[in-house]
Amino acid sequence: MTVTLGVDLGGTKIQVVAITNRRVVGEARHLTPQTDAQAVVDEIIAAAREAAGTGTVKAVGVGTPGSITSEGHVSMAANVPGFMHDVPLGPSVSKAFDGVPVTVDNDVRAASMGEFHRGAGRPFRDLLGVFVGTGVGGGVIIDGKLRRGRGNAGEIGHTVVRDGGRECTCGRRGCLEAYAGRMSIERAARRKQADGAQTVLFDVMKRKGRDRVTSSVIAEALDRGDELTRSLIDQAVDALGIAIANAQNILDVEAVIVGGGLGDRLGPPFVRRVAEAMRPRLRVPEHEPAVLTTQLGDLSGAVGAAVIAGG
Amino acid sequence: MTVTLGVDLGGTKIQVVAITNRRVVGEARHLTPQTDAQAVVDEIIAAAREAAGTGTVKAVGVGTPGSITSEGHVSMAANVPGFMHDVPLGPSVSKAFDGVPVTVDNDVRAASMGEFHRGAGRPFRDLLGVFVGTGVGGGVIIDGKLRRGRGNAGEIGHTVVRDGGRECTCGRRGCLEAYAGRMSIERAARRKQADGAQTVLFDVMKRKGRDRVTSSVIAEALDRGDELTRSLIDQAVDALGIAIANAQNILDVEAVIVGGGLGDRLGPPFVRRVAEAMRPRLRVPEHEPAVLTTQLGDLSGAVGAAVIAGG
C-alpha cells in the first residue's frame, strides 16, 4: 500500500496522518520537543514513520508556522524551538524517506485546504478559513484554488478591527488576533486581574495542571459563569464578526469555516455567535455565507498538508 | 472597421469609448438625463452611436452601478433616474445595435479591469482597484481573473474601518465610504459647519456654480488651506489606509490602484499619503504592494467595460 503523509507542525504537538485513496489510514501524534531544531525534525520523521506503518511513502506534505522558502526551508516560527532561524525542513524530511517529494506550506493554509477538500468545505467552490488558536490565522480558497499571493495571503488575524486598540502579539494595535487569539486573551485577563478584576480563569488553569490558558481552560471558565472570561469572549466574537464581514464584503465567498483550538473547543454555539456578529456588517446580509465549524477538528492541518502533497 | 464599445453609466454622465485592436478610436460623453429610465437608455444608445461613428459595432460592454442580473437587467442603482426598478438595459442596447452581444457588469469592477488590462495595472498579475468618488467601490483581480463572487465581491467601501463610527450612506456605521466617499465628506462638512466650524468649502462650491461638493471643489478648498477640509481629507486618507491594508493582508496582491473622482483629482500626492497610511497596518510591510494612481483617469470604466466585452 502506498500512502501520502500529511504533517501538521505546531509548538506543542506534531500531528501526522497517512492517506490512501482520500482516506486516513494511519495517524500519529507526538509532542514537539522543546529543545532544538534537530530534535524537532527528528521527531517529525519518527511520527511520520509511525503514521506510515508498513505503507510505502510516495509524498509528504508539511504544514508549518513561519516563513517558508520555495525549497521548503522554514524560519521565523517563534513557537517551534530552533525554528526562528533557517531550518531545511523539506530536504531533511525528503532525505529520511528516500528522496520522496516533500511540499512545505503554511499551517493555516493547509488546514483550510483540508476542510475545503475533505471537511466542512466540500459543498462549496470557495472558502474563507479562520483558525482561532494561540494566534488567529486564515486561508482563502477562491474558485477551488488556494490563494498564496506573494507568500503572505490569508492574514486575517492581522487585519485591523479597532484602529489604535488592544496591543497585538505582532506589535501593532487593534488586530483581530489582539482580541481573539488565545495568547492575547490570556494577557488581557492577567492585566484585568492585576487591576483587581475577579476571575476563576487562572484557578481553572492550575487545577487542570496547565501553565497557560488553553481553549479548554477558557471553556470551563465560561461554563462556570466567569464574568471576565465572558466579557473577553464577547470581545473576541465581536472582533471575529468585524474581520470576517470585512473579508466577506471583498471576497463574497460561499462559506466561512471557523476552527482552531478555540473554534473547535467552543464549537457550534460560538461559531453561531460569530455569524451573528458578522451579519449586521455585511454589505449584502441577505446573501450571507455559510458559517461553519470544522469537520476534521485538529486533523484539518495534517489532512490539508497531505492534500497539498497530492494525497 | 469593426469596433467594440464600452459604456460607463454614471448618475451625472454617460461615457462611451470605441475600441479597435486594443486602441481607443472613438469617444462620446453625454449628460445622464435626470428624467426617467427610458430617456437614460435612449441617451446611452445615442452616445454609443456617436462613439462608434462609421465603425461596425461587434459587441458592447456596459459598466453600471446597482444590481445586475445574468440577462443584463439593472436595478437598485439609486444615482441613475429610473434605475431603482428593473431596467432591461442589456437587451435594449443589443436591440439598438442589431442584436450584437451586450455584457453588463458593475461599473467599479469594469474600471478595475480597464486599469488592469490597459492602464496602470498592466505590469501586474493581480490588483485591488479602489475608486473614491461619490461613494467608494472596489474591484479585485486575482491571477488575472476578475473576482465576482456570487455577484457582490469588491465592496471595500463597506468594510468597517471604525466600528460604530460615522454613519454611512448604506445606513450602517464606520464603513470606509463613511469617511472617504465624496457624499459623506460633504455631509460631515455640513454638520461641522452647522456646529460652528469655519470653512470655505461651500463658498467655493457656489462660486464654481455647483450644487454639491465635487472633487474639484474639495481640491480647491485644500489649495486654499481650509482647515475643515484638510481634517476631513486626513480622515479619508486614514480610512483608506486601514481598509486597503486589511484587504492586502488577506489578498497579498501586487498592486493597488486608487482612482475615482477624488483619487484622480487629488492625484499622486493623495495616493502617496494613502500608501503611507496603509504601510504601518500591513502584516508584511517590507513586501508592500505598489500603490498607484489610474492611467486612464475617467475613461477606466468605459475602457474596462469594452475589455469585458472582448474589445
Domains belonging to chain A, first-starting first, are 2-111+300-308 (3.30.420.40), 122-294 (3.30.420.40)
The predicted structure's pLDDT at residue B79:
86
Report how many Cβ contacts below 8 Å link chain A to chain B.
113
- Chain B residues touching A246 at Cβ < 8 A: 159-160, 243, 246
Contact A126, A141 (CB under 8 A): yes
- Chain A residues touching B251 at Cβ < 8 A: 140, 147, 149, 153, 250
Subunit contact B250:A138, Cβ cutoff 8 A:
yes
- Chain A residues touching B280 at Cβ < 8 A: 172
Subunit contact A160:B252, Cβ cutoff 8 A:
no
Position B201 confidence tier, pLDDT thresholds 50, 70, 90:
very high
Subunit contact A172:B281, Cβ cutoff 8 A:
yes
Whether the predicted pLDDT of A310 surpasses 90: yes
What whole-number distance in Å separates Cα of residue A89 and Cα of residue A135? 23
Rounded mean pLDDT of A275-286? 95
- Provide the grid cell at A178: 489582539
CB hemisphere CA count around A148 (13 angstroms): 13
Instruction: Label each residue of B141-200 as H, E or C.
Output: EECCEECCCCCCCCCHHHCECECCCCECCCCCECEHHHHHCHHHHHHHHHHHHHCCCCCC
The number of residues in chain A equals: 311
The predicted structure's pLDDT at residue A104:
97
pLDDT digits 0-9 by tens, B43-77: 999 999 999 999 999 999 999 999 999 999 999 99
- Chain A residues touching B246 at Cβ < 8 A: 159-160, 243, 246
Task: Report the first-to-last Cα separation within chain A, whole angstroms.
Answer: 13
Give the angle A157-B184-B221 at the CA atoms, nearest 5°. Answer: 115
Position B214 confidence tier, pLDDT thresholds 50, 70, 90:
very high
Subunit contact B150:A252, Cβ cutoff 8 A:
yes
Taking an 8 Å Cβ-Cβ cutoff, which residues of chain B contact chain A? 126, 138, 140, 142-143, 145, 147-156, 158-163, 170, 172, 238, 242-243, 245-247, 249-254, 280-281, 283-284, 287
Sequence letter at residue B215? S
Q: Which residue of A has its CA nearest to B289?
A: A150
The predicted structure's pLDDT at residue B53:
97
Subunit contact A149:B252, Cβ cutoff 8 A:
yes
Taking an 8 Å Cβ-Cβ cutoff, which residues of chain A contact chain B? 126, 138, 140, 142-143, 145, 147-156, 158-163, 170, 172, 238, 242-243, 245-247, 249-254, 280-281, 283-284, 287
Subunit contact A281:B151, Cβ cutoff 8 A:
no
Whether the predicted pLDDT of A78 surpasses 90: no
* Nearest chain B Cα distance for residue A138, angstroms: 8
Helix (H) or strand (E) holding A298: none
- Provide the grid cell at B155: 465592496
Rounded mean pLDDT of A103-123? 97
The DSSP line for A146-214 is E--TTTTTT-GGGSBSBTT-SBPTTSSBSBHHHHHSHHHHHHHHHHHHHTT---SHHHHHHHTT-SS--
The predicted structure's pLDDT at residue B143:
94
Strand order in the sheet with B290-293: B145-146, B136-142, B127-132, B255-259, B290-293
**Considering CB atoms only, which of B243, B245, B250 is closest to A140?**
B250
Share of chain B above pLDDT 90, in %: 95
Subunit contact A159:B249, Cβ cutoff 8 A:
yes
The predicted structure's pLDDT at residue A79:
86
Contact B295, B115 (CB under 8 A): yes
Q: Which residue of A has its CA nearest to B253?
A: A149
Subunit contact A140:B242, Cβ cutoff 8 A:
no
- Chain A residues touching B150 at Cβ < 8 A: 252, 254, 287
B71: Cβ contacts below 8 Å, ≥ 6 apart? B88, B90, B91
Q: ipTM score of the complex?
A: 0.93
pLDDT digits 0-9 by tens, A38-71: 999 999 999 999 999 999 999 999 999 999 999 9
Rounded mean pLDDT of B186-212? 96
**Considering CB atoms only, which of B147, B249, B252 is closest to A251?**
B147
- Chain A residues touching B76 at Cβ < 8 A: none
Strand order in the sheet with A127-132: A145-146, A136-142, A127-132, A255-259, A290-293
Whether the predicted pLDDT of B78 surpasses 90: no
A109: Cβ contacts below 8 Å, ≥ 6 apart? A63, A139, A146, A148, A154, A304
Q: Which residue of B has its CA nearest to A283?
A: B158
Contacts of A65-69 spanning 24+ positions with Cβ under 8 A: A65/A9, A65/A10, A65/A11, A65/A106, A65/A107, A67/A151, A68/A104, A68/A105, A68/A106, A68/A151
If 0-12 CB within 10 Å is exposed, 13-18 middle and 19+ buried, where does residue A167 land?
middle
Subunit contact B252:A284, Cβ cutoff 8 A:
no
Q: What's phi and psi for A67, nearest 5 deg?
A: -90, 145
- Provide the grid cell at A126: 470557495
* Nearest chain B Cα distance for residue A282, angstroms: 8
The predicted structure's pLDDT at residue A190:
97
**Considering CB atoms only, which of A143, A243, A249 is closest to B155?**
A249
Rounded mean pLDDT of B137-141? 97
pLDDT digits 0-9 by tens, B4-15: 999 999 988 999
Helix (H, G, I), strand (E, B) or coil at A109: helix
**Considering CB atoms only, which of B148, B245, B283 is closest to A152?**
B283
Mean pLDDT, rounded, of chain A: 96
Best of A251, A253, A282 to disrupt the B interface by mutation (most B CBs within 10 Å)? A251
CB hemisphere CA count around B50 (13 angstroms): 14
